[in-house]
Amino acid sequence: MRLAPLAPLALALLACHSGSPPTPPSTSEPGATHAEGRPAAAADKLAAATGPAATGSAVTAPAGSAAAPSAAPPAAPPAKPAVALEGTDFIDDARLLYRVAACGGADTPLPAVLSSGDAKVSAKLDKIVEHHCKLILARMAEFRTTYFEKGRAWFDDVVPKDVPKAVVYPFGGGDLLSALVAFPDATEVTTISLELAGDPRRLRTLSPAAIERSLGALRAEIGGLISVGSNTSENLSNQQRNDLPGQVSSFLLGLVAGGYEPVVMRYFTLDDAGAIYYLDQAAIDELDKQAQTTRPRSLKHDWLSPTFSQAFANVEIQYRKPGDPQPRVHRHIGWNLGDAYLARHPEVVRHLEAKGAVTMLTKGASYLLYRGDFSVIRGYMLGHLKWMLSDSTGIPPTYARPAGMVQETYGHYEGAFLESAQDNRHDEAFVALWKAQKARRLAFRFGYVDKDKQAHLVVTRPKP
């Protein structure tokens, strides 16, 4: 859960309408531009967007402050071609992962592309995937019973019917599932975390033994996601090294659990103003080529480096219920949300700010929002949340109250789950908040428990 930036060497390859990667002009040429009329300086900044996140380094933004003001939008692009190219669509790979990794349509035959028509290979793959899906679907059935069925009444009662249908989930690594549980009417969900989305193309090239090994690793890496809707940092980091795209597989698993199917899957990056640029095949090929000589780097110094190029950092998956003509959109942005990183790469905050007032979800976020070096994302959240659901890793009263927020507690809370977050003014403020309010029932865990293993949630919203 945390965040990361854009493709390090994406340059102007990110333009959604360009057919081939442009050659970046020398930065010494004043006023030089890349394809789509984007200023060269912006492209060079994208090229530099890489490196480990700083934690605890000096930051100028005060606690609770909003992000730096947005830069002027890029220059107007040239006229669009007769047919607009909206980036390469990986829907065939998404559907393959949906069937094999996420077990969507588990009663249907495996696609022939996996076995290349070899009957022995096909039979072996059938057994491997059947075993995987038996384990996955058993856990998913329990999750659906707890959250989509028994827990549905709680969410329907607590979540107002008029909350914005755009949901922002900071520190939400791999966890589209929880957003679908809490906000089933959402039409747009944005998750942000240190984990990059992942390369979806490898599954069709793997041997049966490699598929079996990767599926086993995936089951371990998704950890508690389909048990309690939460995961560990170690599991999320490990996903970056799996032959299967851990984040994409987790998102597709969320769609299966919610009864949705993918209809479009594209990869993108953000320009200086935070606008989306979808990657076409030429841009992806160039970034793949660069990754062969320059090893991709993780967004945090102790995070495992990805085994795929940064073309696959940010993903957009359009999805819908079968028979529903109107797709919904999930975007995952791989970014580091620490102040030091955002000072150098503020594009994601500009992207989020453009959404206006949104519904927010935060849980299992390692108490990062207590810290002084996460003030920019906290300031964005306080300035744009219309309604927010979180566990105790959300925004503590010490920041929420001065920003004009009210908070309502559910379940029981006696102190932070992680010892490193206990016995400080933020945790003490949360303990006092729970004690000051009447007990409100919460019959299930949704995120972290407290130090006494008690389920708890808090609603944060602007004061009327």
**Out of 76-80, 266-270, 460-464, which region has the weakest mean confidence (pLDDT)?**
76-80
**246-258 and 91-100 helices cross at what angle (nearest 10)?**
70
pTM comes to 0.79
Q: What is the mean pLDDT of the chain?
A: 81
pLDDT at 59 over 50: no
Q: Are 312 and 414 in the same domain?
A: no
pLDDT digits (tens, 9 = 90+) for 386-405: 999 999 999 999 999 999 99
- Which strand ranges, in their side-by-side order, compose the sheet holding 328-334? 276-278, 261-270, 314-320, 328-334, 188-193, 166-170, 358-362, 385-390, 456-462, 405-411
Instruction: Report the alpha-carbon distance of residue 420 to residue 448 in Å, rounded.
Output: 14
**How many domains does the structure of the chain reveal?**
2
pLDDT at 52 over 50: no
Q: Are 295 and 345 in the same domain?
A: yes
* Nearest in space to 190 (alpha carbons), one of 164, 161, 214: 164
* Nearest in space to 334 (alpha carbons), one of 287, 297, 387: 297
Q: Are 172 and 278 in the same domain?
A: yes
Q: Are 384 and 261 in the same domain?
A: no
pLDDT at 255 over 70: yes
Residue 169 three-state SS:
strand
Residue at a domain's end among 319, 336, 355: 355
Q: Are 157 and 203 in the same domain?
A: yes
Question: Which residues are 274's β-sheet partners?
Answer: none
Q: Are 385 and 297 in the same domain?
A: no
Q: Which residue has the tokens 């970014």?
A: 335
Q: Are 345 and 397 in the same domain?
A: no
C-alpha distances in Å from residue 150, one per residue of 143, 213, 363, 403: 10, 34, 20, 35
pLDDT at 21 over 50: no
DSSP assignment, residue 48? H
Q: Are 316 and 367 in the same domain?
A: no
**Residue 341 forms part of a structural domain:** yes
Residue ranges making up the domain that contains 388: 361-464
- Cβ atoms 187, 15 nearer than 8 A: no
